[in-house]
Amino acid sequence: MTEDALVIFTPSGKRGRFPLGTPVLTAARQLGVDLDSVCGGRGICSKCQITPGYGEFPKHGVHVDADALTEWNSVEDRYKQKRGMIDGRRLGCQAKVMGDVVIDVPPESQVHKQVIRKSATERTIAMDPATKLLFVEVQEPDMHEPTGDFERLAIALRDQWQVQDVTADLALMRRLQPALRKGEWKVTVALHKGNQDASSRILDIWPGFHEGPILGLAIDLGSTTIAAHLCDLTDGRVLASSGLMNPQIRFGEDLMSRVSYAMMNPGGDVEMTRAVREAINALSASIAAEANTLPTNVYEVVFVCNPVMHHLLLGIDPVELGQAPFALATSGSLSLDARDLDLTHLNAAARVYILPCIAGHVGADCAAVALSEEPNKSDDMVLIVDVGTNAEILLGNKTRVLACSSPTGPAFEGAQISSGQRAAPGAIERVHIDPITKEPRFRVIGSELWSDDPEFAAATATTGITGICGSGIIEAVAEMRMAGLVDARGLIGSAEQTGTERSVPEGRTHSYMLHDGSADGGPRIMVTQGDIRAIQLAKSALYAGARLLMDEMGVDHVDRVTLAGAFGAHISPKHAMVLGMIPDAPLEKVTSAGNAAGTGARIALCSAAARSQIEKTVHDIHKVETAIEPRFQEHFVNANAIPHAVDPFPELGLIVTLPDVSFNTASGGGDSNRRRRRG
């Protein structure tokens, strides 16, 4: 029997081996995992709640037995009885490690709360919501013309609002007569207009004239984060935007690892469905509170999501999406009752609309990006990249649009990075390295000051400097390349080769010391050779997907590039191009669309006409399957170089000259066999 066990924390991805009997809280502290505790581990504050995962975790290469943690104890039982605790959670100070285990740290247990950077993008939307408030005057009952109250309400809607066919559920029927009589035969109804030939449905009714509120939720259900916009359905105003981590991360950080979890754990898909629905309920309650309203004022929800999230939201086993031909259970748009998805916090009659998917691995989120950015109406050749754990890519113009999905993994989100963390106060998000002195300066989330500013220490005293997030690691690696600390193959040079003591030896490789906070009890934030490799793999997948679409389109360059997604909004175009994340283009033609998928969801929420439009558009978008295309691997290998082994970057070369260095460890790290690489 082994004397220690492997402990893996999500969403940070940090892992380590610990002696059996080690409290989870102790393991978290030793690994630098962001797990809160106020009471010092005495089981009083409950800040250290964690959620263990059991079963097969192919992504992490472990099997977690049911007895991987010590049994539920009296301290936990007492806390749950008195204050309540979500089923399946444990207290990190009480649960002890007894075997290999995967442990998720939920957002509320993190000291540095995640910043879900998916705020609403300003957009003018022609209002045509599927759910509207209509005021009607209903004919009073007449003994000589015996018709029911509902039938006369339907006639009034037809005559006054040209609504031809209406239905209502039994719950509304029970409230119909009191409302009509209290309003003296004048009522306001919340009417949901059905798609195409479908009948309209009365969702709610009020006596007399009622102004609302009548609200809707536009939700971008991503594999890493869930972002929501609460909108007023009368004028489209965004009342609040909020988000949280997708709790499915504990089952796997990328989509295929979640499919594998469902394959290898009977009932695993049900477990993941339950987790995400509970999270959406919690998010709907919190975003309503932020807007000082009630979630029961929400009458409609629009979802956009990738195919795996789509199936898991609906409660459909995603196993078929894990193998060719990657068949979807359904690809069309869906209209459902919110209660079908266990969304119990909303109005009892709330409706759900899910945008159509484009194909097996290109989902409703990509359709939402197409609705928002309209590449099918573009005169020039535009490449739209929604950067995330799974990147969706669109290429085209008014003559033709192509789409693909590329598995970039979680490195761009700060996961699988040695000092990586999610975007939270204290995380390094911007980096600049002096090419002469090799000294860095940086900015952290929560402060506008750079680290060489005299006021920086005071400004960051509360948050500290805790790690590096996705945009930070991208800028760090690109800056290291521009400063001659990293060569075209991604190798970090030694102190002798680079001329700086910040190049620190680690085994047979080197790391770059970005920040050393150890003197004050803080972390040493390094960029390691493993970090460089993780970024190379992620950016190569992204570039290869774009290049594959360009091959299919028969073009060698694009006129402009749009970076979509909340993460894309925080990427520096220059640094992205130095890395070779995106094809060469004039930098002024590389722009951010913000959270385009979320914007597409808002458009669909506020416009029934837009729903009809995207339902037609997806049939005209041609999907290219990267998983079975032989050229994808060739493009992937060539894209491993920084910026690229073969493709020229003439536009970048006009503003950046990359140092001619080579740190070939196999030949002792000399400068032999150097190749000139121009940006």
CA distance 23 to 8: 14
* CATH architecture for residues 218-354: 2-Layer Sandwich (3.30)
CA distance 486 to 133: 61
Q: CA-CA-CA-CA torsion for 355, 358, 360, 365, nearest 10 degrees? A: -50
Lowest mean pLDDT among 2-6, 87-91, 626-630: 626-630
User: E strands within 312-452?
Assistant: 334-337, 351-354, 382-386, 391-397, 400-406, 427-433, 440-444
Residues of the chain with CATH 3.30.420.480: 218-354
Residue 488, amino acid: A
Lowest mean pLDDT among 53-67, 92-106, 388-402, 562-576: 562-576
With contact defined as beta carbons under 8 Å apart, do 221 and 314 qualify?
no
Tell me the C-alpha to C-alpha distance, in Å, between residue 20 and each of 14, 23, 26, 69, 317. Answer: 18, 9, 12, 9, 35
CATH 3.40.50 at 370-408+535-653, yes or no:
no
Adjacent-strand bridge partners of 590: 561
CA distance 488 to 567: 25
Residues of the chain with CATH 3.10.20.880: 131-207
The pLDDT value given to residue 415: 65
With contact defined as beta carbons under 8 Å apart, do 563 and 591 qualify?
yes
CATH number of the structural domain 131-207: 3.10.20.880
The pLDDT value given to residue 667: 42
Q: How is 35-66 classified by DSSP, letter by letter?
A: ---SSSSSSSS-TTEEEEE-EEETTTTEEE-T
| Most confident option among 51-65, 245-259, 554-568, 644-658 | 644-658
Pinpoint the alpha helices (H) of 588-643: 596-606, 608-617, 630-638
Q: Look at residue 414 and give its three-state secondary structure.
A: coil
Per-residue pLDDT tens digits for 362-418: 899 999 999 999 999 999 999 999 887 778 899 999 999 999 988 887 677 766 788
Lowest mean pLDDT among 274-278, 419-423, 485-489, 649-653: 419-423
Please, which residues have CB within 8 angstroms of residue 380's CB and are 6 or more apart in sequence? 397, 559, 560
The pLDDT value given to residue 645: 94
pTM above 0.85, yes or no: no
The CATH homologous superfamily of the domain defined by 4-109: Beta-grasp domain (3.10.20.30)
The pLDDT value given to residue 110: 74
The pLDDT value given to residue 113: 56
CA distance 580 to 474: 11
The pLDDT value given to residue 525: 93
The pLDDT value given to residue 414: 67
Per-residue pLDDT tens digits for 287-332: 999 999 999 999 999 999 999 999 999 999 999 988 878 889 999 9
Residue 189 token pair:
């109804």
Q: Residue 283 belongs to what H/E stretch?
A: helix 268-290
Residues of the chain with CATH 3.10.20.30: 4-109
